[in-house]
Amino acid sequence: MKLIKKTYYLTSLWLLPVTIIGSIFCFLMIEHISYEETDEFLTYEMQRLVRYHEEHDDLPEFHKVADILPDIIYSEPAFKDTLLLEPGDNEMVPHRELYFTINHKGQPFTIVLRHLLLGRDDIAEGTLLIIVGLLLLMATCLILILNILTHKLWTPFYDTLKRISTYKIGGTPPTLKNCNIDEFNALNSTIKTLLTKIDGDYKRNKEFNENLSHELQTQLAIIRLTTEKILNQNINSLDSSTIESVKSIYSSVNKLHQVQKSLMLLSKIGNLEYNENVNINLKEVLEQVFEKYLEAFELREILVTLNLADCPLSIDLGLAQILANNLFKNALKHNVANGFVALTLNKKTFVIENSGLPFKGNPEQFFQRFTKGENGNYGIGLSIVKQICELYNYSISYSIADNSKHIITITFL
Amino acid sequence: MKLLVVEDNEELLDIIVLTMIKEKYQCEKAVNFIDADEKIHLYTYDILIIDINLPDGSGLDLIRHAKNNNPASGIIVISARNSLENKIEGLEIGADDYITKPFDVAELVARVKALLRRRNFLGSDIITYNEITVDTTKRRVTVNNTNIELTKSEFDILLFFFSNPGRVLTKETIAEHIWGDNMDLVDSFDFIYSHIKNIRRKIIEKGVKIPIKAVYGMGYKLEELFDEIN
């Protein structure tokens, strides 16, 4: 939900109790004022009558006297509420009465003054009108104010958000503009600290990878070239045990190189060094990579079935190729003679099935690094595949059907 | 043919230089950026073999300088960094080829020869051995003036042998040469065996000898013609 929408939503939610309490308050206030005013009016009338009576010993010509009751004495004036039938509307209407006693010619008389009160339904109606009117006005103003304020207040925030969301690891960290809001400045400086740390870590990691691979590979190159030199120079003078030693040195160097390369690749993927996402069609990548393996599949007499539909993805091209390479390699390497490989690709999933050796156990372990197979193979290829899938939030699973059919399924989310 | 090899590891440098001299190239060496830069400015080389990672500068800058001085020279980049950016940048600023450590001498020699052919420094893109003729541009092989059909891999392997007569090519080297860095298949050795068997058969059918011999179970070697004469 957008910030502004959420603000509207929460504001309206809070306005609800405020409206209810406000309405009750408004109702009670109007009722109170109506009583006060009526009482005041009746009191003034009483005072006028008393004064007039004192001066003229009679009641004025125009008065509000509703009733005169002999024999009842009120030592203090008293207010009373009463309901009277209004003949016009034929309904009971609230009235306010004031009882007070005057002494007329030695005889006490209680005079009743009466005045119409505001009906509760009238008050409720008035309250409703006031509140609804007020609410409409407030809502209009709130929307306007919130819109203007959100835009104005949150601009630095949106600016920061835009800058950091376009930041790519390995690139120059964005400069975040300071503003006059302390919280945003604090946010910016925290982000700056984090980005500097991330950038530093990334660069150190990358440099470490590069240094390590440079130093290792240079030495590996020397060993490899020296072994070759021995092979070439002394071809007629080598005894069989020397040849065996040279062979084992040579094969170890090559294995070391493969392991080193794979580990470096894993480390680089983990360090997000492949982040040039482009729009590709996985179908095309698979077809290109497959061409390289076609001959190998043919030589091993493995039947390959391709069932590829277009599958647009946003992914680093290098990683897409590594993914395809490792999957083909896996399907080839762990296949059996006269076996098969079947690839099915559509927009949502990529399934690669191949015949292989029977396997009992949890096939998910093939995704772990350096799983020892029966013939001592390294299981790093699939762990690279898994790491690439994790990077792009693709789900990947390994299952075995009919004892020896190996199935890898990748689902693009 | 004049070559300059720039590599900061002296052992490696010596091995490369010795190999190139053995290939009858005039070869000079530089062990750091300053030496290399000076040589590039003073002399003209046909081929430069440059390690990108130098202690006192970047090989990428050397490529730029070399291209400025003599755009005609061919450049092969050696790098231990597998990083893709370096590779792309190197090729973008004018390098012709890229080779990653650890490489084999045979591979480097094949790359140098391929580059020389592409640049037409050798004056011809045709290699002959006995009565076998390989047209590297048209990718055609003729034996005794009749065409023979080779698959892509078979052609690549044959050309690789022709670029390295007299040198033992290990199975790993051949596998890497035809399938690239990605092929670490155990089975690839069997494929190489069948490819070589096929090449032999196709050539021998035409009545021409092709002395590719197995060496110590590690690899194969194409005898030098010189050996043949003896």
The CATH number assigned to the domain holding B201 equals 1.10.10.10
Instruction: Kindly state whether residues B143 and B77 are assigned to the same domain.
Output: no
Q: Which residue among A221, A265, A295 sits closest to B103, beta carbon to beta carbon?
A: A221
**Closest CA in chain B for residue A249:** B218
Q: State the pLDDT at residue B139.
A: 87
Q: Which domain holds residue B181?
A: 126-229
Are A231 and B180 within 8 A, CB to CB? no
Average pLDDT, integer, range A250-277: 84
Q: State the pLDDT at residue B123.
A: 66
Average pLDDT, integer, range A388-398: 92
Banded pLDDT at A89 (limits 50, 70, 90): confident
Average pLDDT, integer, range B176-191: 70
Across-strand partners of B30? B6
Q: How far is A193 from chain B (nearest CA, A)?
A: 27
Instruction: Kindly state whether residues B107 and B135 are assigned to the same domain.
Output: no
Instruction: Kindly state whether residues B93 and B180 are assigned to the same domain.
Output: no
CA atoms of B119 and B125, how far apart (whole Å)? 10
Contacts of B84 in chain A (CB under 8 A): 274, 318
Q: Which residue among A232, A300, A325 sits closest to B167, beta carbon to beta carbon?
A: A232
- Of A92, A93, A98, A88, nearest to A39 by C-alpha is A98
Q: State the pLDDT at residue A28.
A: 93
Number of domain units in chain B: 2
Instruction: Kindly state whether residues B43 and B90 are assigned to the same domain.
Output: yes
Q: Which CATH number fits domain A277-411: 3.90.1150.10, 1.10.540.10, 3.40.50.300, 3.30.565.10?
A: 3.30.565.10
Q: Determine which of A225, A227, A375 to mutate to test the interface with B (most B C-beta atoms within 10 Å).
A: A225
CA atoms of B76 and B60, how far apart (whole Å)? 11
- Of A289, A406, A216, nearest to B183 by C-alpha is A289
Q: State the pLDDT at residue B30.
A: 93
Cβ neighbors of A112 (< 8 A, separation 6 or more) are A65, A66, A67, A68, A69, A97, A98, A99
Instruction: Kindly state whether residues B47 and B133 are assigned to the same domain.
Output: no
Average pLDDT, integer, range A100-123: 85
Average pLDDT, integer, range A398-408: 89
Q: How far is A333 from chain B (nearest CA, A)?
A: 6
Q: Which of B84, B118, B152 is the last residue of a domain?
A: B118
Banded pLDDT at A92 (limits 50, 70, 90): confident
Are B187 and A232 within 8 A, CB to CB? no
Structural domain spans, chain A: 3-137, 183-270, 277-411
**Closest CA in chain A for residue B86:** A210
Q: State the pLDDT at residue A315.
A: 92
Average pLDDT, integer, range B142-171: 89
On the question of pLDDT at B230 being above 50, the answer is no
Q: Which of B94, B118, B142 is the last residue of a domain?
A: B118
Are B81 and A333 within 8 A, CB to CB? no
Average pLDDT, integer, range A88-107: 84
Q: Which of B118, B148, B178 is the last residue of a domain?
A: B118
On the question of pLDDT at B188 being above 80, the answer is no
Instruction: Kindly state whether residues B112 and B155 are assigned to the same domain.
Output: no
Q: State the pLDDT at residue B22.
A: 87
Are B185 and A329 within 8 A, CB to CB? yes
The pLDDT tens digits of the residues spanning A175-200 come to 888 888 899 999 999 999 999 999 99
Average pLDDT, integer, range A257-262: 83
The pLDDT tens digits of the residues spanning A126-157 come to 889 998 998 899 889 988 988 888 888 888 88
Instruction: Given the cut 0.95, state whether the ipTM is greater than it.
Output: no
The pLDDT tens digits of the residues spanning A230-253 come to 888 755 677 888 888 888 898 888
pLDDT above 70 coverage of chain B, percent:
90
CATH number, domain containing residue B81:
3.40.50.2300
Q: CB-side exposure of B107: number of CA atoms within 13 Å?
A: 26
Does B217 touch chain A if contact means CB atoms closer than 8 Å? yes
